[in-house]
Amino acid sequence: MTDRQPCNPSASGSAGELLRLLSGLPEKKDRRVVLGQYITRNSHNSNPYDPAQAWERYYQDVYRQSGEYPGLAGFDFSGRSVDGAGADSGPSDSNWREYAEYHHEQGGLLRFMWHASNPWTLETSWSQIPQGGGLEQLITPGSEAYDRWNGWLGRLADQLETYAKKDIPIIWGPLHEMNGRWFWWGTGATDQFREVWRHMYRYFTETRGLHNLLWMFCPDAKASCERAVEQYPGGSCVDIIAPDLYYVSADSGASPALYDEFSDPKYGKILGWGEIGVNTEERIDNRKFIEEIRSRFPLVTTYMQWGDVFSAGTIKTFALPSNDYMTELMRDDWMLPRGELAKLKNK
């Protein structure tokens, strides 16, 4: 098995074991891709489900329909929806922590993310840095944005510490799709983005001692590859590179630009798809993604299908149970649903 070490030299034993497991998957003949499903934000999803309902729909329904659970479950600390609903802008896991811990206890992997609200304006992630603002203000004392951002980081660290104390390794993918310009953190200078990432890394690992995290860098596959390279914070604070990949239609292919760039041995990182889906209102064949990985992107070790999105009377069916051939996907010999993943972890 590939002897790849975490970027954090003080990483916990469980984090190191998880990284080594993922590192070895491309060398296997079968059972080599961890199948993931995004479950929920803390509240106010882009669908009508509260966290308990989302757990039933995106986790339990997968089992009821296929006899298998997702190998990876995704959760988001945000309490804000794309339309701005939700009074509290700060990060929280209060409405889904029990589900995340249960999934871990059953042998699954956890991927946490955070659609952070705008620390200048308190708008949602889908906003801009206001005129006169800049990402450097988040790491330079003396502004309200600095105080708010670092207060949020403190709240996040308090919650992540709960998992660290239970020795639960977390795949942590903050500030995703940074090479696009739809989230506020993607609208700033690329060098400043790198410093904001590094500041978070130092605070979590060095100041707060959170050594259970594997750090995942998630640019967007349809946005600029050049910008993603410029924003890459460096191998000393990244473990996994996992672009978000959304196909235009069920018949379209994926751009290989980010895969080709970050699969270069000079990066030396595990590869995955952070989020994946097809931007259509029609049901699709769930097997599309593993077939593309098998034929075009064989170094991808994990992917996470997104939850369904309800907007303006339309529904985009991204989730496993909302599309076709889920059982066949779960039984594909390259797949690692929760049961197969638990077997691999226990070898």
At 70-126, the pLDDT tens digits run: 999 999 999 765 555 544 578 999 999 999 999 999 999 999 999 999 999 998 899
d(CA 335, CA 324) in angstroms, rounded, equals 16
- Give catalytic status of residue 98 as yes or no: no
Q: What's the confidence (pLDDT) of residue 195?
A: 98
d(CA 343, CA 328) in angstroms, rounded, equals 20
d(CA 45, CA 106) in angstroms, rounded, equals 25
Q: What's the confidence (pLDDT) of residue 86?
A: 47
| Segment 32-38 mean pLDDT | 98
Using pLDDT thresholds of 50, 70 and 90, give the confidence band for residue 2. Answer: low
Residue 191 clears pLDDT 90, i.e. is over it: yes
| Segment 125-153 mean pLDDT | 96
Distances (CA, A) of 129 to 119, 137, 175: 9, 11, 14
Residue 3 clears pLDDT 80, i.e. is over it: no
Using pLDDT thresholds of 50, 70 and 90, give the confidence band for residue 280. Answer: confident
| Segment 124-136 mean pLDDT | 95
Q: What's the confidence (pLDDT) of residue 1?
A: 41
Q: Classify residue 61 by burial, with Cβ atoms within 10 Å: 0-12, 13-18, 19+.
A: middle
Distances (CA, A) of 188 to 141, 200, 243, 266, 290: 18, 16, 19, 26, 34
- Give catalytic status of residue 177 as yes or no: yes
SS3 assignment, position 139: helix
Judge contact between 301 and 21, C-beta under 8 A. no
| Segment 166-179 mean pLDDT | 98
Pick the CATH number of 13-345 from 3.40.50.720, 3.40.50.800, 3.30.70.360, 3.20.20.80: 3.20.20.80
Q: What's the confidence (pLDDT) of residue 302?
A: 98
When the pLDDT of each residue in the chain is averaged and rounded to a whole number, the result is: 94
Q: What's the confidence (pLDDT) of residue 87?
A: 46
d(CA 70, CA 61) in angstroms, rounded, equals 11
d(CA 143, CA 238) in angstroms, rounded, equals 28
Instruction: Given the residues 177, 261, 292, 340, select the one marked as catalytic.
Output: 177
d(CA 6, CA 169) in angstroms, rounded, equals 12
Q: What's the confidence (pLDDT) of residue 306?
A: 96
Across 60-74, 244-258, 302-316, which has the greatest mean pLDDT? 60-74
Judge contact between 337 and 330, C-beta under 8 A. yes
d(CA 100, CA 78) in angstroms, rounded, equals 15
Residue 177 clears pLDDT 70, i.e. is over it: yes
Instruction: Given the residues 17, 27, 206, 275, select the one marked as catalytic.
Output: 275
Identify the CA nearest to 97 among candidates 55, 34, 35, 69: 55
Q: Are strands 72-76 and 240-241 parallel, antiparallel or unpaired?
A: unpaired
